[in-house]
A and B are shown apart, each in its own frame.
Chain A
Amino acid sequence: MNLSPIKTGPGEIRSDHKVVASLVPQGARVLDIGSEDGALLDLLARERQVDGRGIELSQEGVNRCVARGLSVIQGDADTDLADYPDRAFDVVILSQTLQATREPKRVMSELLRIGKEVIVSIPNFAHWRNRAQLLFRGSMPVTKYLPYEWYDTPNIHFCSLRDFVALCHELDAKVDKAVALSGKGNKIPVNAPWWVWNIVAEQAVFLLKR
């Protein structure tokens, strides 16, 4: 169920969730894709009073979400977004899931179609630790944030932050805000140039508009 390797203690709020929550307007109509156990939707309902919906791949995750009073359906980002009408949501959120989709580009354009704003958080494959593992050990990186071996990873489409921004340009999406996070979940100063982010950021959160 838990696609994201980012673990938190009980009651602790994930750093990327905090960043996402700060980007969501009060009372917005939100679709959260990859709801996992509902932690983000719950946070958004409490702190942003959103009208939230979720899609989660694992039935176990869905049942947990619904049992805690969240509106979540079992579904797949690759196939089930087509059902939603254009601009159905104020904000569509895809957390730490894009790299696990079969067709990230198509998923991205669906997100931009059904949401007036899109928030995407992704792990940065070009983080220096990954680069170092590939360069010096000559093997696929396995880190705290990318804990899977190459043969059992659900993550099939990795990109660097730079790659992601390039995809956004290709889809005519404007990057309204971007927040890069270090491994400890600290924000990396905004004035740092892109190539710095692309090396030191372990993950990043993007706010996109069309």
Chain B
Amino acid sequence: MSADKANSAATEDLKASEVETPSSKLVRFSADEALELDSGVRLGPWQIAYETYGELNADKTNAVMVCHALTGDQYAASTNPVTGKPGWWSLMVGPGRSIDTNHYFVICANVLGGCLGTTGPATQNPETGAPYGLDLPVVTIRDMVRAQARLLDYLEIDTLFAAIGGSMGGMQVLQWAVSYPERVFAAVPIAAAARHTSQNIAFHEVGRQAIMADPDWRAGSYIREGVRPTKGLAIARMAAHVTYMSDESLHQKFGRNLQDRDHLTFGFDADFQIESYLRHQGMTFVDRFDANSYLYVTRAMDYFDLAQEFGGSLANAFKDTRTRFCVMSFTSDWLFPTSESRQVVKALNAAAANVSFVEIESDRGHDSFLLDVPEMFQTIGGFITGAARARGLPAPGEELETRP
């Protein structure tokens, strides 16, 4: 066995163990504590994996729920056990950061349908003893939020001081504010939308078809059969990755530069740097993500339409809300463009809600929310501090209240 293959097998084992017994915190719910899903199915037993950062205060009023995006995980501000890389939002969450863990108790849970410890298609189906595969009911963004609310109940936290997240994380934040308005004091949906657009569904469908076209997908039962649809998943990731960047950032980063060569090869190798980069993105992604999870989580995003259950009126979804909102978008994000955020703001205004709306200048596309964008950190830090003041919490820079 080559060193590469041995490494890959080790990663594979590590990931498999992360599915059932993650390195993070974990709560298991019994069959009696089943989760009622939008599909009508009762899911149980089920489990949710999460990380926390900072300390919960005595009043339990300083909890912040960080919601992760499509391929994110609970390791927002701590090392990811599969990749060994720092948390995906270490720039935002941590001591002295915009979401200051010296002041707030941050919770980040792996989403329902995910593959790092929360029940998903790779989890063992208690009825068969084998991984669920496609026998897992299709889950929705609202189901993900329901699961998080159950986690909050378990932690005996009544109200979130804030819910915050980008992209699919932002969808969850909006769903939190609509499903549990009395449990969310402040909501920060970043680079998100109140519904998944036709174009976005289309991109997801391309990704799913790539996975399902891989002969090693085996109608979703690849784990049982000891294979993995890595090619399909890698292509899905490559296609999606393009949508997370912008023409301008691609042009600046790669232009038409050639990869380790001086001339075109008149073949189909990765002549261009952008090709090589995308192939690398695809290849590394398959080491940390489950193909079926990719199907389930993209489906959840496709099904998301916040206004649907309110007769198509988004304003009605937010009626009488007392949550403070900070909606944020990025100028070069064409996947979740500013116009989508504006729709949310418009609806919030129609509900006379307390709303801030900020469009951040960035040429780095949808992924901007994950990157080092100082204006984003400043604005979110300011919003959080203002909300803390309104909530009567000691904000960063102010004296911590001492309790007897």
Asked if B10 is at the interface of the complex by the 8 Å CB criterion, the answer is no
Query: Are A71 and B355 in contact, with the CB atoms below 8 A?
Result: yes
Comparing A82-90, A133-141, A168-176, A192-200, the segment that makes contact with chain B is A82-90
**B344-386, CB < 8 A from A:** 345-346, 349-352, 354-361, 375, 378-379, 381-383, 385-386
* Cβ–Cβ < 8 Å partners of A88 in chain B: 352
Query: Are A73 and B355 in contact, with the CB atoms below 8 A?
Result: yes
Asked if A53 is at the interface of the complex by the 8 Å CB criterion, the answer is yes
* Cβ–Cβ < 8 Å partners of A70 in chain B: 356, 386
How many A residues, CB 8 Å from partner? 22
* Cβ–Cβ < 8 Å partners of A73 in chain B: 327, 345, 349, 355-357
Closest to A83 in B: B349
Q: How far is the CA of A147 from the CA of B389 in the complex (A)?
A: 38
- Binary interface encoding of chain A residues 177-208 relative to chain B, with 1 for a CB under 8 A from any of its CBs, else 0: 00000000000000000000000000000000
Asked if A62 is at the interface of the complex by the 8 Å CB criterion, the answer is yes
Asked if A153 is at the interface of the complex by the 8 Å CB criterion, the answer is no
* Cβ–Cβ < 8 Å partners of B345 in chain A: 73
Query: Are A66 and B382 in contact, with the CB atoms below 8 A?
Result: yes
What's the interface size class on B, roughly? 20 to 34
- Binary interface encoding of chain A residues 57-73 relative to chain B, with 1 for a CB under 8 A from any of its CBs, else 0: 00100110111111111
Asked if A74 is at the interface of the complex by the 8 Å CB criterion, the answer is yes
Q: How far is the CA of A170 from the CA of B362 in the complex (A)?
A: 46
Query: Are A71 and B382 in contact, with the CB atoms below 8 A?
Result: no
Q: Contacts A53-B354, A69-B389 given; 16 further ones with Cβ under 8 A?
A: A62-B356, A62-B358, A66-B358, A66-B383, A69-B385, A69-B387, A71-B324, A71-B355, A72-B357, A73-B327, A73-B345, A73-B349, A75-B357, A84-B349, A84-B352, A85-B350
A-B contact pairs, 30 of them (CB 8 A): A53-B354, A53-B355, A59-B361, A62-B356, A62-B357, A63-B358, A63-B378, A63-B379, A65-B356, A66-B326, A66-B356, A66-B382, A67-B379, A67-B381, A67-B382, A67-B383, A68-B382, A71-B356, A73-B327, A73-B355, A73-B356, A73-B357, A74-B358, A74-B359, A80-B349, A83-B346, A83-B349, A84-B349, A84-B350, A89-B352
